Amino acid sequence: MKSRTLSKKRMTGIFLFIIITAILLVVYGMFDAKNREQKVYKVILIPKTIDSTNGFWTSLISGAELGAEEFNMEIEVLGGKSEEDIQGQIACIEESIEKRPDVILAAPCSYSETSEALQKVVDSGIRLVLIDSVIDRDIASSVVATDNSRGGKELGEYARSLIDKDTPIGIVAHVKGSSTAIEREKGMREGLGQYESQVKDVVFCDSSYDKAYKETLEMLARYPDIGMIMGTNEYGAVGAARAVKESGLAGKVKVVGFDSSVEEIQLLEEGVFQGIIIQKPFNMGYLGIEQAANIMTGKRVEKNLDSGCKLINRNNMYEEENQRLLYPLTGQ
Q: What is the CA radius of gyration of the chain?
A: 26
Closest residue by Cα to residue 45 from 71, 82, 80, 84:
80
**40-146+281-308 under CATH 3.40.50.2300, yes or no:** yes
- Model pTM greater than 0.85? no
148-279 matches 40-146+281-308 in CATH topology: yes
Instruction: Give 106's strand partners.
Output: 46, 130
Instruction: Please give the chain's pLDDT, 332 residues, in tens.
Output: 545 554 655 666 666 667 776 676 765 666 555 555 568 999 999 999 999 989 899 999 999 999 999 999 999 999 988 999 999 999 999 999 999 999 999 999 999 999 999 999 999 999 999 999 999 999 999 999 999 999 999 999 999 999 999 999 999 999 999 999 999 999 999 999 999 999 999 999 999 999 999 999 999 999 999 999 999 999 999 999 999 999 999 999 999 999 989 999 999 999 999 999 999 999 999 999 999 999 999 999 999 999 999 999 999 999 998 898 888 754 44
The domain ranges of the chain are 40-146+281-308, 148-279
**Three-class SS of residue 100?**
coil
Q: For residue 123, what are the CA distances in angstroms to 98, 116, 127, 262? A: 13, 10, 9, 41
**How many Cα atoms are found within 13 Å in the side-chain-facing hemisphere of 70?**
16
Contacts of 88 (CB under 8 A, 6+ apart): 80, 81, 82
- Topology of domain 148-279, per CATH? Rossmann fold (3.40.50)
**Three-class SS of residue 74?**
strand
Cα–Cα distance measured from residue 90 to residue 243, given in angstroms and rounded to the nearest whole number: 33
Cα–Cα distance measured from residue 266 to residue 5, given in angstroms and rounded to the nearest whole number: 91
Cα–Cα distance measured from residue 148 to residue 184, given in angstroms and rounded to the nearest whole number: 5
